[in-house]
């Protein structure tokens, strides 16, 4: 009888984990579609790591700036001086 209860408990656990992972993957897929550069509206290239992107902390939202646009404002500021 104990093995039957264990089997039911394990089956419930596996079903719950499967449902969670399915929901998690769907949520992450939608999140990845929303990630883009706040300056040029470029989405990350396939396989590109957004950990290298700059995070703009001036606004209340999290704004990501790609590595291509990250150096542009600094170069313009140096040219004006």
- pLDDT at residue number 80: 45
Distance CA 37, CA 40 (A): 6
Q: Where are the domains of the chain?
A: 1-34, 36-81
On whether the CB atoms of residues 63 and 41 are closer than 8 A, the answer is no
- pLDDT at residue number 72: 56
Task: Give the CA-trace dihedral at 11, 17, 23, 29, to 10 degrees.
Answer: -130
- pLDDT at residue number 79: 45
Q: Report the half-sphere exposure of 21 (CA within 13 A, side-chain side).
A: 6
pTM score of the predicted model? 0.49
Secondary structure letter of residue 53 according to DSSP: S
- Note down pLDDT in tens along the chain; length 81 residues: 789 999 999 999 999 999 999 999 999 888 877 888 888 888 888 888 888 888 877 767 778 888 888 765 444 444 444
- pLDDT at residue number 13: 97
Distance CA 14, CA 18 (A): 6
């Amino acid at each position: 009888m104990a093995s039957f209860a264990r089997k039911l408990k394990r089956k419930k656990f596996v079903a719950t984990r499967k449902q969670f992972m399915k929901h998690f993957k769907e949520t992450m897929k939608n999140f990845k579609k929303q990630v883009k550069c706040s300056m040029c509206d470029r989405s990350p290239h396939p396989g590109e790591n957004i950990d290298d992107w700059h995070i703009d902390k001036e606004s209340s939202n999290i704004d990501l700036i790609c590595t291509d646009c990250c150096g542009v404002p600094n170069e313009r500021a140096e040219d004006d001086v």
